[in-house]
Amino acid sequence: MNSSSEWAPRLRPGDSPGVLDIHDVSVRFGGLTALDSVSFAAAPRQVTGVIGPNGAGKTTLLNVLCGFVRPNTGKLTFGDTDLTGIRPHQLAALGIARTLQNVGLFARLTVLENVMAGATCHARAGFWPALAGLGRSDRDERTLRQRALAVLDRVGVADAADSLPGQLPFAHRKRVALARALVAQPRLLLLDEPAGGLTETELPELGQLIGNLAVEASVVVIEHRMDLMMSVCDMIAVLDFGKLIAWGTPQQVQADPAVTDAYLGAERSREREEPEPPADGLPGAGGDPPGPGGGSPGAAL
């Protein structure tokens, strides 16, 4: 593995991936303030958590970091790179990868092909030209395939390489989405609810994987599963109605009455406002950007 130059690590041992600095970021959607002067910094090679009740602005923050949403005010930097005006297509070249809250895999590509698509910035010939039979380099494609298989193995779904995503349980699709992010060897990894669909017994394994990833990259993770967040995060930012209401170690935020109030308040207003759920209804989709490829070569799952 990593024998050819296109897979050379982006960082030499000892290099720092850089601090992710979020400074005074505000986002407004019409009359709604989704983020309100949010500031915190994610240290290199640490796991930084972002928690908060539904609608707190967590996914919006990731969308800002990825250039899907423009902040109305504020500045974002990653090391020496200004991310404030970044475009989504620049992410891979900057070493930034993300998983979506709603998975977002290509439905008509196999699991392996989905993961290979995440590595296009590394391969000389590239995955899409290779898929179309253009400028194809057998060696590049072989290397890409081996790399994708190794990452699938790392997240525990290598045996599903030839399946279509729709054939897999949701929790396994989440793992494939993580593999697609990892295959690009990111310096900054942004994970939106990676534990969605996982059972309690699967959480410790995911926690271990996320902890291991922080050896190579800075990790920012959004998650509602508090047991996972308390065990895996070095620092946690707590958002509520777009405001940063707490910042500290897991123990500090857990003991912060403002955090308890925010979750209890959300719980109470849900109880007050929630109509009877439809018999076969699904929860809302959240603030994910569009899935990959806009429907070609397959709608996002």
Site for Mg ion, rule CB under 5 A: 58-59, 101, 286
Number of Cβ atoms within 10 Å of the Cβ of 6: 17
**Beta pairing class for 96-99 and 188-192:** parallel
Q: Which does 56 bind (CB under 5 to 8 A by kind): Mg ion, ligand ATP, none?
A: ligand ATP
Q: Considering the complex, what minimum distance in angstroms separates the CB of residue 55 from ligand ATP?
A: 4
Among 17, 38, 44, 58, binds ligand ATP (CB under 6 A): 58
Whole-number Å distance between alpha carbons of 133 and 257: 59
Partners of 51 in beta bridges: 238
Among 15, 16, 29, 205, binds ligand ATP (CB under 6 A): 29
Number of Cβ atoms within 10 Å of the Cβ of 294: 8
Q: Considering the complex, what minimum distance in angstroms separates the CB of residue 24 from ligand ATP?
A: 18
Best CA proximity match to 241, nearest among 100, 60, 42, 40: 60
Best CA proximity match to 154, nearest among 175, 184, 185: 175
Q: What is the dihedral of CA 19, 91, 219, 184, to 10 degrees?
A: -130
Q: Segment near ligand ATP (CB under 6 A), from 55-63, 83-91, 177-185, 203-211? A: 55-63
Decide whether 34 or 183 has the Cβ nearer to ligand ATP: 34
Among 18, 49, 52, 207, binds ligand ATP (CB under 6 A): 52
Site size for ligand ATP, by CB under 6 A?
14
Binding of ligand ATP by 34 (CB under 6 A): yes
Alpha-carbon torsion (251, 222, 88, 9), positive or negative:
positive
Binding of ligand ATP by 60 (CB under 6 A): yes
The answer to whether 117 touches 176, Cβ cutoff 8 Å, is no
Q: Considering the complex, what minimum distance in angstroms separates the CB of residue 272 from ligand ATP?
A: 17
Name residues contacting ligand ATP, limited to 75-114 (CB under 6 A).
101
Binding of ligand ATP by 287 (CB under 6 A): yes
Interface with ligand ATP (CB under 6 A): 29, 32, 34, 52, 54-60, 101, 286-287
